């Protein structure tokens, strides 16, 4: 074949054009994150790169062997836990910060760095020491969430967030896996200490406050666990059967408040199913409600190993799968190829992640110091701890204790104070200040012989304690020391006694009624013998509760003179407790969850933790999955005080309750308008009528008209804490309600509706200590928000009703 001149020229032209294009392409720089538009970056990513970005880099489970080089990683079994294969990169790529919970993949050719996420709600959880490094990397253990909520002080909680956020940034982490705000549905919930309250307004307000504090430092949060994750029994798979209304009014409300008021960088979906489907696989939850209805701008990540179908999770809008394994990325690539996952959906998930990565300190190249101000943060932790402690009982002005008094300190946890709960919410702190040390610092004398007996007993008992077999669990508690023979002597020599009762719990298991919600025989015996001996000498006895969740108090509280609920107060716990016991700080905490008289009184007692079904034949038990199980939220919206108040059940200590060393009087309650027009304000004068400076919490409970819908007797709709009022000083507190605050969720209309009629406003200092009731009218019903039909139960739920 002979080429003519013309075609030859054409070929040359074509060839040179091709060379030019290739050359031009080679010349054209690749898009780079931060320099190019997000669209350009996403368009430049291959499907494989996208599938890598939306799946984390894996997790080095303590004790887990690395995958064998060159072999496809296999699932791993450690102590009965079968875990999916880990990504070899988790072992090969050095961690930016040692001991964090997870990382995302970097795509360096496009300028996308790997970001680091770490637990947990009460402080940054990273390894305190590193191989071949003499320095330490301890973190501040802040008080647990339940204590922070008990302060009812959002400004204080924001300050904790600022210190916390600074520590996260200075240790090089991008996103903290917290705060956690699941509702205290039942006192036995193993992770209740990590959560705020039985009430969604308190939970949501506290979450927004701490998120705003943390994120003011240029690092992100992950509010968790979204949603209806209220138990640890079979936590990875339990099917939560719950009505749409209870979801909206109780279990989603706190998240809604927090998203709208603080735009957390990320949200963590929960392990459980809701009405049959894993939360991470529910598009109605992750996309329709969270992103569309509430306007959430960040990305959603799964809880660790949560859900089971990577493609369904992507389709739901669960943007990132954590900790991630290569099989998930492979499944995503395959799904794009076979059309079960659209590129548009994958791109949307990738884009959400990139928007957050852009804000991260790692992307910005922040030079972290590894030297946060631990001293300053410990001071913040101590202040917050004292502000969230609750004085439950103080007969005959037993407290505060005067300086120089000699105190006999009983109870193991006085000497082995529990700073916070176990599992991922535990913090590697440098120390915990014990109670005797705190008392001594406050000028109160601790009886030395008794202290020595406890020290010896604890050393011996700890040596005998069985080693924990499970990554999450604390070893079993040490039984209380038998004080026979010691107590009489102490009652002679000391001026008063303190007994600390401690409880610990955490991720992976719920608490029990016997010997956990209730006191053990040894604890009852301790309280009895100390009280008998001290009371016989006319001396007082105070119990300090160092607990992470609600316990039974009604059967023993009459034996003692004072009770301080100190919760799990963080690393400065002993000092903070002493601040309150000595009167340096006047207690102003209030219960954010009810203390019932008996466990049977709890509205979910019959439905917690649900029921288990037989395992399919041949299926091996795996704690990572749990037994087939379901839990029915039969109590509907009647959670906590909503139930006790509506069904007239007297609690031991009601929601909102807490004493002070001074007294307050509420007066002059005024409502801004007799008829609701867009908003209504209620003002009240709070006067300190006692002898010590102190703070009071004003609480507003609303009773809505209920002709068409069964509604709780009253619901908390606003609250505010006063400043520190000197004796005789007053402050006017004004609380404002908007239309949304009057509304209930009507399932048949998929809408929030404020019914026409009379609204009764109760202003008080607890849910049952009401100073004054006022009312206003709503002339015409208002549909405050129209939503979408979602989360519909597949079975009928026989919910309790109050009519």
Q: Least distance from C-beta 423 to ligand BGC, angstroms? A: 7
Using the rule CB under 6 A, is 95 a contact of ligand BGC? no
Size of the site for ligand BGC (CB under 6 A): 9
Using the rule CB under 6 A, is 175 a contact of ligand BGC? no
Is 303 considered catalytic here?
yes
First-to-last alpha carbon distance for the chain, in angstroms, is: 97
* Binding to ligand BGC in span 579-618, by CB under 6 A: none
Query: Residue 653 forms beta bridges with which residues?
Result: 595
> Based on CB atoms, which residue is closest to ligand BGC, 289 or 322?
322
Using the rule CB under 6 A, is 290 a contact of ligand BGC? no
Interacting residue with ligand BGC among 158, 224, 273, 711 (CB under 6 A): 224
Bond from prior residue into 120 cis (ω within 30 degrees of 0): yes
> Based on CB atoms, which residue is closest to ligand BGC, 120 or 609?
120
Strand stretches in 94-156, DSSP E: 102-103, 116-118, 129-130, 133-136
Q: Least distance from C-beta 119 to ligand BGC, angstroms? A: 5
Q: Least distance from C-beta 681 to ligand BGC, angstroms? A: 39
* Binding to ligand BGC in span 470-529, by CB under 6 A: 507
> Based on CB atoms, which residue is closest to ligand BGC, 126 or 285?
126
Q: Least distance from C-beta 179 to ligand BGC, angstroms? A: 11
> Based on CB atoms, which residue is closest to ligand BGC, 356 or 686?
356
Q: Least distance from C-beta 178 to ligand BGC, angstroms? A: 7
State the DSSP code for 480. Answer: P
Q: Least distance from C-beta 100 to ligand BGC, angstroms? A: 9
> Based on CB atoms, which residue is closest to ligand BGC, 215 or 634?
215
Using the rule CB under 6 A, is 424 a contact of ligand BGC? yes
User: Cα 448 from chain centroid?
Assistant: 38
Interacting residue with ligand BGC among 110, 124, 168, 177 (CB under 6 A): 177
Q: Residues with Cβ < 8 Å from 147, sequence gap 6 or more?
A: 384, 385, 388, 389, 566, 567, 568, 569, 570, 589
Q: Residues with Cβ < 8 Å from 663, sequence gap 6 or more?
A: 688, 689, 690
Edge-to-edge strand order for the sheet containing 715-721? Answer: 715-721, 697-703, 757-764, 770-778
Burial of 340 (0-12, 13-18, 19+ CB in 10 A): middle
Measured distance CA(609)–CA(618) in Å, rounded: 25
CA dihedral 23, 25, 28, 33 (to 10 degrees): -150
Please give the structure tokens belonging to residue 50: 């996208």
Q: Least distance from C-beta 56 to ligand BGC, angstroms? A: 10
CB 94 within 8 A of CB 361: no
User: Which of 303, 319, 579, 645 is an active site residue?
Assistant: 303
Q: Residues with Cβ < 8 Å from 609, sequence gap 6 or more?
A: 186, 188, 231, 232, 233, 234, 238, 510, 629, 631
Q: Least distance from C-beta 329 to ligand BGC, angstroms? A: 20
Measured distance CA(362)–CA(623) in Å, rounded: 35
Q: Residues with Cβ < 8 Å from 304, sequence gap 6 or more?
A: 59, 101, 102, 322, 323
Q: Least distance from C-beta 483 to ligand BGC, angstroms? A: 39
Interacting residue with ligand BGC among 196, 278, 296, 304 (CB under 6 A): 304
Measured distance CA(264)–CA(301) in Å, rounded: 12
CB 788 within 8 A of CB 750: yes
Using the rule CB under 6 A, is 759 a contact of ligand BGC? no
Residue showing tokens 């007082």: 540
CB 762 within 8 A of CB 701: yes
362: left (phi over 0), alpha (psi -120 to 50) or beta: alpha
Q: Least distance from C-beta 461 to ligand BGC, angstroms? A: 29
> Based on CB atoms, which residue is closest to ligand BGC, 100 or 531?
100
Q: Least distance from C-beta 269 to ligand BGC, angstroms? A: 11
Please give the structure tokens belonging to residue 798: 């026989």
CB 430 within 8 A of CB 419: no
State the DSSP code for 267. Answer: E
Please give the structure tokens belonging to residue 441: 């610092």
> Based on CB atoms, which residue is closest to ligand BGC, 177 or 533?
177
CB 142 within 8 A of CB 388: no
Measured distance CA(765)–CA(659) in Å, rounded: 10
> Based on CB atoms, which residue is closest to ligand BGC, 83 or 478?
83
Measured distance CA(359)–CA(46) in Å, rounded: 23
CA distances from 500 to 29, 144, 398 (A): 66, 18, 16
Q: Least distance from C-beta 367 to ligand BGC, angstroms? A: 27
Measured distance CA(197)–CA(52) in Å, rounded: 37
> Based on CB atoms, which residue is closest to ligand BGC, 60 or 760?
60
> Based on CB atoms, which residue is closest to ligand BGC, 126 or 725?
126
CB 89 within 8 A of CB 31: no
> Based on CB atoms, which residue is closest to ligand BGC, 424 or 731?
424
Q: How many CB atoms lie within 10 A of CB 80?
A: 12
* Residue 32: φ, ψ to 5°: -130, 135
Number of residues written out for the chain: 803
Instruction: Map 639-682 to HEC letters.
Output: CCHHHHHHCCCCCCECCCCCECCCCEEEEEEEECCCECECEEEE
Using the rule CB under 6 A, is 303 a contact of ligand BGC? yes
Using the rule CB under 6 A, is 119 a contact of ligand BGC? yes
* Binding to ligand BGC in span 635-674, by CB under 6 A: none
Using the rule CB under 6 A, is 101 a contact of ligand BGC? yes
3-state secondary structure of 309: coil
> Based on CB atoms, which residue is closest to ligand BGC, 269 or 765?
269
Query: Residue 715 forms beta bridges with which residues?
Result: 702
Q: Least distance from C-beta 294 to ligand BGC, angstroms? A: 21
> Based on CB atoms, which residue is closest to ligand BGC, 164 or 776?
164
Using the rule CB under 6 A, is 193 a contact of ligand BGC? no
Residues of this chain that bind ligand BGC (CB under 6 A): 101, 119-120, 177, 224, 303-304, 424, 507
Active site residues: 303
């Amino acid at each position: 074949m002979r080429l003519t001149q013309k075609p030859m020229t054409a070929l040359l032209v074509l060839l040179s054009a091709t060379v030019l294009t290739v050359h031009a392409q080679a010349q054209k720089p690749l898009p780079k994150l931060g320099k190019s538009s997000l669209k350009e970056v996403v368009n430049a990513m291959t499907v494989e790169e996208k599938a890598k970005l939306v799946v984390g880099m894996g997790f080095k489970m303590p004790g887990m062997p690395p995958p064998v080089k060159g072999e496809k990683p296999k699932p791993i079994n450690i102590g009965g836990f079968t875990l999916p294969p880990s990504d070899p990169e988790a072992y090969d790529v050095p961690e930016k910060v040692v001991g964090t919970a997870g990382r995302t993949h970097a795509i360096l050719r496009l300028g996308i760095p790997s970001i680091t996420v770490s637990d947990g709600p009460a402080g940054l959880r990273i390894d305190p020491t590193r191989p071949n490094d003499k320095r330490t990397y301890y973190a501040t253990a802040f008080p647990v969430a339940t204590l922070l909520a008990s302060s009812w002080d959002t400004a204080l909680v924001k300050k904790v967030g600022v210190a916390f956020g600074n520590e996260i940034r200075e240790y090089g982490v991008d996103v903290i896996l917290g705060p956690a705000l699941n509702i205290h549905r039942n006192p036995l919930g193993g992770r209740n200490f990590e959560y705020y309250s039985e009430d969604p307004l308190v939970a949501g307000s506290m979450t927004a406050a701490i998120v705003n504090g943390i994120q003011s430092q240029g690092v992100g949060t992950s509010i968790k666990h979204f949603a209806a994750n209220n138990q640890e029994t079979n936590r990875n798979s339990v099917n939560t059967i719950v009505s749409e209304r209870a979801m909206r009014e109780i279990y989603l409300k706190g998240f809604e408040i927090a998203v709208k008021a603080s735009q957390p960088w990320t949200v963590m979906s929960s392990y459980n199913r809701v009405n049959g489907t894993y939360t991470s696989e529910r598009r109605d939850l992750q996309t329709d409600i969270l992103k569309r209805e509430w306007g959430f701008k960040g990305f959603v990540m799964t809880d660790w190993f949560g859900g089971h179908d990577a493609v369904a999770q992507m389709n739901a809008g669960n943007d990132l799968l954590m900790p991630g394994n290569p099989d998930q990325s492979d499944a995503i690539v395959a799904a794009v190829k076979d059309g079960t996952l659209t590129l548009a959906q994958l791109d949307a998930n990738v884009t959400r992640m990139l928007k957050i990565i852009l804000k991260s300190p790692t992307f910005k190249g922040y030079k972290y110091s590894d030297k946060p101000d631990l001293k300053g943060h410990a001071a913040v932790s101590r202040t917050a701890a004292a502000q969230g402690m609750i004085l439950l009982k103080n007969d005959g002005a037993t407290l505060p204790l005067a300086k120089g008094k000699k105190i006999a300190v009983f109870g193991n946890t006085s000497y082995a104070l529990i700073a916070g709960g176990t599992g991922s919410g535990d913090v590697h702190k440098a120390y915990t200040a014990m109670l005797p040390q705190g008392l001594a610092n406050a000028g109160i004398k601790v009886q030395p012989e008794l202290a020595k007996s406890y020290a010896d007993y604890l050393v011996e008992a700890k040596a005998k304690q069985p080693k924990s077999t499970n990554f999450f669990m604390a070893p079993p508690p040490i039984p209380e020391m038998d004080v026979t023979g010691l107590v009489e002597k102490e009652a002679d020599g000391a001026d008063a006694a303190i007994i600390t009762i401690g409880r610990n719990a955490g991720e992976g298991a719920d608490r029990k009624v016997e010997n956990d919600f209730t006191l053990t025989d040894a604890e009852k015996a301790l309280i009895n013998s100390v009280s008998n001996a001290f009371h016989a000498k006319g001396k007082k006895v105070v119990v300090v509760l160092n607990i992470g969740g609600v316990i039974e108090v009604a059967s023993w509280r009459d034996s003692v003179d004072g009770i301080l609920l100190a919760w799990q107060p963080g690393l400065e716990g002993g000092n903070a407790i002493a601040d309150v016991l000595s009167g340096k700080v006047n207690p102003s905490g209030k219960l954010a969850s009810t203390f019932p008289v008996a466990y049977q009184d709890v509205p979910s007692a019959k439905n917690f933790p649900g029921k288990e079904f037989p395992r399919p034949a041949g299926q091996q038990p795996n704690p990572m999955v749990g037994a087939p199980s379901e839990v029915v939220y039969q109590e509907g919206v009647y959670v906590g005080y909503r139930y006790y108040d509506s069904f007239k059940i007297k609690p031991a200590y009601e929601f909102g309750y807490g004493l002070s060393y001074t007294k307050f009087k509420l007066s002059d309650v005024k409502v801004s308008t007799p008829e609701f027009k867009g908003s209504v304000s209620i003002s009240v004068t709070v006067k300190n009528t006692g002898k010590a400076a102190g703070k009071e919490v004003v609480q507003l409970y609303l009773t809505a008209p209920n002709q068409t819908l069964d509604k709780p007797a009253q619901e908390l709709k606003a609250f505010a804490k006063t400043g520190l009022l000197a004796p005789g000083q007053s402050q006017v507190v004004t609380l404002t309600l908007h239309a949304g605050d009057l509304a209930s969720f009507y399932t048949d209309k998929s809408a929030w509706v404020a019914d026409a009629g009379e609204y009764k406003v109760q202003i008080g200092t607890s849910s049952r200590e009401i100073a004054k009731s006022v009312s206003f009218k709503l002339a015409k019903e208002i549909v405050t928000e129209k939503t979408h039909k979602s989360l519909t139960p597949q079975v009928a739920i026989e919910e309790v009703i109050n009519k």
